[in-house]
A = this chain, B = another copy of it.
Amino acid sequence: MTGLLDPWTLFDVIDVVGVFIGAFTATLVARRLRYDITGMWALALVAGLGGGLIRDLCLQVGPPLALTEPAYLPTVAIATIAGATYGGKVDHTWKSIVFLDSLALITFAVAGSLRTLQYDYGIWATALLGVITAVGGGVLRDVLSGETPMIFRRAELYALAALGASVAMIMLDLLDQPRGSIALAGYTVGLFLRFGSLRWGWMSWAPRAPEERSRG
Contact = CB atoms under 8 A, between A and B. Distances in A.
A60 B70 CA distance: 18
Interface string A186-216: 0000000000000000011111111001000
Contact of A152 (B39, B68, B139, B158): B39
Interface residues of A, number: 65
B68 A125 contact: yes
Contact of A144 (B84, B128, B143): B143
A38 interface: yes
Contacts of A139: 144
Contacts of A146: 148
Interface stretch (A10-18, A85-93, A104-112, A172-180): A85-93
Interface of A: 31-43, 53, 57-60, 62-64, 66-68, 70, 72-73, 84-85, 87-88, 91-92, 121-122, 124-125, 128-129, 135, 139, 143-146, 148-149, 151-155, 157-160, 203-210, 213
